[in-house]
Amino acid sequence: MHTSACSTTGLALLSLASLGLTASVPRQNNGAVTVAIAVPSTVPSTASKTISPNFPGFAFEQSSWVRYAQNGIGTRNNFTNNLIAAVTSRTGGVPIIRLGGTSPDYGKYIPSQQAAALPVAEQDNYQDIGHTSIGPSYWPLTKFFPNAKWMIQVPFADTNVSEAIVWAKTAIDTIGINSIHSLQIGNEPDLYRDDFRGERGIFLGPPAYQGTLDNATYVGNWTKYATAIRRALPSVPNRFFTAFDVAAHVEDQSMASWLLDPKTCYGLGIDAGNNIKEVSHHYYQNVAGRAADLQAGLMTLSVTHRNLDYLKPRIAWLKANRPDTPFIINELGNSLQRTNSYEYQARLGSALWAVDFYLYAMTIGVAAINYQQIMHSGFDLWLPVHSGGLQAQVFANFYSQPFVADFIGNKGKARVVKLNMSNAPANLAAYAAYEDGVPKRIAVANLEYWNQTSSTFARPQTPITLTLPRTVRSVTVTRLNSPAGAGAAADSITYAGSQWDFNLRGQEIKNVRADTRTVAVGSNGVVNILVPFSSAAMIYLS
């Protein structure tokens, strides 16, 4: 990123009727037109490649990772460990964890520093670009998570290549080359500037730091750093670097079409040394707003899908010219803000945005997404420790992750397609996961806006008629939902009836809400469901 306590006590069980599940054709609710979805019986030719069980990954700003990794007494933060496991256990994947961001790109490794990272990250401060440093006790924090694979960012903004080498060497010596997924040279190099200044006005431009780069100067510098690292560290194999890591430029897609694009940079020889393992982008949809901005800012599917579609040419070029090089989103957040705006960035509406973002990204060829976390940011999945007057807690956005993981499944076989619909409202999307050529799961994301505290009408429910292959005998429907609607905080949200909170250190609390039911499919292959506005449904076919 580059920019200027949940309790289950008192939650009542909701009736199945209130959650909109019915085995018969529903009466239209609030005048809504029934949406028709015919699910193909065999996997369409437009379906994605097989989705990796490691698709949902994690990313942490350098200093913030210290707080996520360990608790106040210096042992493993089990809250973080359990929440990561709640996602990866559903797919059978391993945690892919990226450590990086803008602050370490301008950071220093100080061998005499006792603290793992300075300054200490808190909920109420901002990442300290230009003053961040790590010491020898930083990389051992990875040992708390022995099953993870690590993406290690090394400084590129610093024109002294020795700084990048020492970060790579100390990480490899401590973590072990076999536990490192990749090395990443730099962070959002498309945003380097001749006149860039960090925190408190510190000058971070040439000659000590990189200035403005174009395609040619980026390639020249990047290959210089990759070559130097491999010469200094012979254990680094071919195809071990994550490259590009550029910003989304959703505000100026004309820039995104040419600046640091794969076609041009490969043509300039960026991979002449057989170094690139994957091509990476970052994504933030907008600048964080307030509660009243949630509908337009994050719950309008045409905006999200349009922005992702701008990545299609890059993905298509790699598929045609470097088919073994995946395209990933290495840093994802819903919006940028120097402090936080939880009423916009951490509500059920933003969690639903994430659900749809992940599923749509799968359909266009994105191979993995690492969700970014920074102690101060409002879009985090959880706050790992008490900080800045705020209790450690799970945020609403976390609920998107087990939903996405369950959609991927644990067979390592899922291929994903966006389903065609008739009579669908603008902010409703449906996706199917196919395994062994047949549909196994359907996800419906209803981002039509309803909020208990601001909407002036009863919560509508969208009627959906699913026509399924005749081999499907029943469906089981689970929900990502809250009775409070889009503006709900985490304490009233459940997924598949479950919650996660700090009191149980991120262990799943089951049966908080009765929102799962199995329904027989009619002899004509049709089943009907209601999906409330501002909720999502997972439908398992059997």
Section 105-130 average pLDDT: 94
> 302: helix, coil or strand?
helix
Percent of the chain with pLDDT over 90: 88
Specify the pLDDT at position 93. Answer: 97
CA-wise closest residue to 394 among 98, 90, 124, 80 = 80
Q: Are 304 and 358 within 8 A, CB to CB?
A: no
**Strands 526-532, 461-467: pairing kind:** antiparallel
> 258: helix, coil or strand?
coil
Strand order in the sheet with 461-467: 35-38, 461-467, 526-532
Q: Count CB neighbours of 182 within 10 A.
A: 22
Q: Count CB neighbours of 147 within 10 A.
A: 12
> 347: helix, coil or strand?
coil
CA 38 to chain centre: 29
Residue of higher predicted confidence among 1 and 450: 450
Helix (H) or strand (E) holding 277: strand 276-287
Section 286-301 average pLDDT: 94
Q: Are 496 and 516 within 8 A, CB to CB?
A: yes
Q: What is the pTM of this model?
A: 0.93
Q: For the segment 431-449, what is each residue's pLDDT rounded down to a tens digit?
A: 999 999 999 999 999 999 9
The secondary structure of 184-221 as a DSSP string is EE-S-GGG--TT-B-GGG-B--TTTB-----HHHHHHH
* Identity of the residue numbered 153: Q
Specify the pLDDT at position 14. Answer: 27
Q: For the segment 179-228, what is each residue's pLDDT rounded down to a tens digit?
A: 999 999 999 999 999 999 999 999 999 999 999 999 999 999 999 999 99
Q: For the segment 97-114, what is each residue's pLDDT rounded down to a tens digit?
A: 999 999 999 999 999 999
CA-wise closest residue to 496 among 511, 474, 518 = 511
Q: Is the pLDDT of residue 250 over 90?
A: no
Average of per-residue pLDDT values in the chain: 92
When mean pLDDT is compared over 6-15, 240-249, 485-494, the highest value belongs to 485-494
pLDDT category at 72 given cuts 50, 70, 90 is confident
Section 299-323 average pLDDT: 95
pLDDT category at 253 given cuts 50, 70, 90 is low
- Cα angle 60, 63, 65 (rounded to 5 degrees) comes to 40
Specify the pLDDT at position 25. Answer: 31
Give the bridge partners for 499, in sequence order.
Answer: 509
Specify the pLDDT at position 8. Answer: 28
Q: Is the pLDDT of residue 38 over 50?
A: yes
Specify the pLDDT at position 359. Answer: 98
Q: Is the pLDDT of residue 26 over 60?
A: no
Q: For the segment 388-422, what is each residue's pLDDT rounded down to a tens digit?
A: 999 999 999 999 999 999 999 999 999 999 999 99
Q: Are 299 and 486 within 8 A, CB to CB?
A: yes
Structural domains in the chain plus CATH codes: 35-47+415-541 (2.60.40.1180), 52-408 (3.20.20.80)
Specify the pLDDT at position 338. Answer: 83
